[in-house]
Amino acid sequence: MSMRIRAAALSAITVLTLAAVTSLTGPAGAAPATDAVPKAKAAAPKFLAASQLPPHPSSAWTAGPVTDGFPIELAHCLGEDGIPAYDYRHRVFHTELDTGAVQATIVTGSAAKGKALAALINKRIRSCADRIERSDPEIEAEGRYYGSLPVEEGAQVHGLHTNASWGATDIHLLSVGRDGRTVTLVSWGQMGDFGDAPVAAFKKTTTKAVNKLY
């Protein structure tokens, strides 16, 4: 279940992912959410560059374009309901091997709404391992909390390891940070376990992501 997740692992979380995307973006033709980004022009939050991700030992990072909408790469951990349908933008990153990453930004209507959204997303990430195991008994999942970062209004860092009965094992690092009314999520993933996770480098990436928003 890394960002460039293998097909076998992806199929195991398809139900969670599709439901999450529906709840995040809203059904087709639905009226805009009341918490959507205000129409007044404002500076758009900036995204990480490929060079600001945790260094890969043998492959360079490539950054995709900044795209409207919620990235499916993050949906497997945000659950099937309860996430407001704000306007999302995202950028996907990849290496030539199995490592991938994604950043999403969400601009809410106020600092209070941004704080509430960040708290809700952190809660969903903390419950991610349990929900994955409930959705597929052939996958074992474990989450870890790596603490908070003193950047702008703060950031929280999490880890997630999944081990499938057919042999697939993947490690993710996820973070949620906030600058005023804007929330950013960053996720990194590859094959492996907690020992393969570049936690210190990912914390630096998260700090850069939040500082770079504005």
Positive or negative torsion for Cα 46, 51, 52, 58: positive
Residues 88 and 43 sit within 8 Å (Cβ to Cβ): no
Mean pLDDT for the stretch of residues 184-200: 97
Q: Report the percent of the chain where pLDDT is more than 70.
A: 79
What does the DSSP 8-state code read for residue 29?
T
- How far is CA 33 from each of CA 19, 23, 109, 112, 213, rounded to the nearest angstrom? 18, 11, 11, 17, 23
Q: How far is the CA of 126 from the CAs of 41, 143, 171, 174, in angstroms?
A: 35, 7, 15, 10
Average pLDDT, the chain: 83
Query: Is residue 199 within a helix (H) or strand (E), and if so which, with residue range?
Result: helix 199-212
Burial of 45 (0-12, 13-18, 19+ CB in 10 A): buried
- Dihedrals phi, psi of 24, to nearest 5 degrees: -80, -40
Which of 177, 191, 164, 90 has the alpha carbon at shortest distance from 125?
177
- The Cα diameter of the chain in Å comes to 51
Whole-prediction pTM value? Answer: 0.81
In the prediction, which pLDDT does 74 show?
Answer: 86
Q: Render pLDDT for 174-188 as a digit per residue (tens, 0 to 9).
A: 999 999 999 999 999
In the predicted model, what is the mean pLDDT of residues 18-25? 39
- Average pLDDT, stretch 153-165? 97
